[in-house]
Amino acid sequence: MAEVELPDPQELSERGERAFSRRVALTTAVYAVVLAIASLGGNNAMKEMLLAQQQSSDQWAFYQAKVIREHQYRMQKLLLEAQLAVPSSGRGPERPHLEALARKFAEEEKRYSAEKKDIEKDAKKLERERDVNRDRDPYFDYAEVFLQIAIVCASVSILSTSRPMFWFSASLAVLGAVSTINGFALLVRLPVLHGH
């Protein structure tokens, strides 16, 4: 009968620990990739939010300028109409010129009124874009926190060969990944993350 050589239990244990460490190290690399994506998403959301805020402010300033011009033309038109309404003034050769000027002021008032409505639409669109990016940002922030803690816990699990610590890190990484996906897609809005 042939002899069967039994494996050394210590060697099996060391081999299992090395395999565990390799799997955890590879998993940690995946965590780092997701962390980089979350960080990029958060940076982009913040940049887009600030850019949309600046552009919205510029549009509202432009809107205000149009409102001021509209009111100036309205005032000039009303003054001319008041002058033309007085029986003693505006008679003679000046009257057609004053009437034409009043019509021109009325047209300019209408033009500025129409232009300011378009500008208002653009400003509100930019505000909505700002708000969406503001809503995305906290999800990326939390994703980064979860993933950074997951990486630390995974490292600790390698050093201590602790499977429970690894599974804890995996659960944090899943939360980070879900938060990253939600940052991009805004599938769920948690009221606690939004102060508005």
Write down the domain spans for the chain: 19-193
What mean pLDDT value characterizes the chain? Answer: 90
**Structure confidence at residue 18 (pLDDT):** 86
Average confidence (pLDDT) over 1-12 = 60
Would the pTM of this model clear 0.85, i.e. be above it? no
**Structure confidence at residue 4 (pLDDT):** 59
pLDDT-based confidence at 185, cuts 50/70/90?
A: very high
pLDDT-based confidence at 47, cuts 50/70/90?
A: very high
Say what the alpha-carbon torsion angle 23, 169, 179, 37 is, to the nearest 10 degrees: -40
**Structure confidence at residue 64 (pLDDT):** 96
pLDDT, tens digit (0-9, with 9 covering 90-100), for 91-109: 677 888 888 999 999 999 9
Candidates 1.10.3470, 1.10.287, 2.160.20, 3.30.1370; correct CATH number of 19-193?
A: 1.10.287
Q: Distances in Å between the alpha carbon of 66 and those of 19, 61, 98, 103, 114?
A: 70, 9, 24, 19, 10
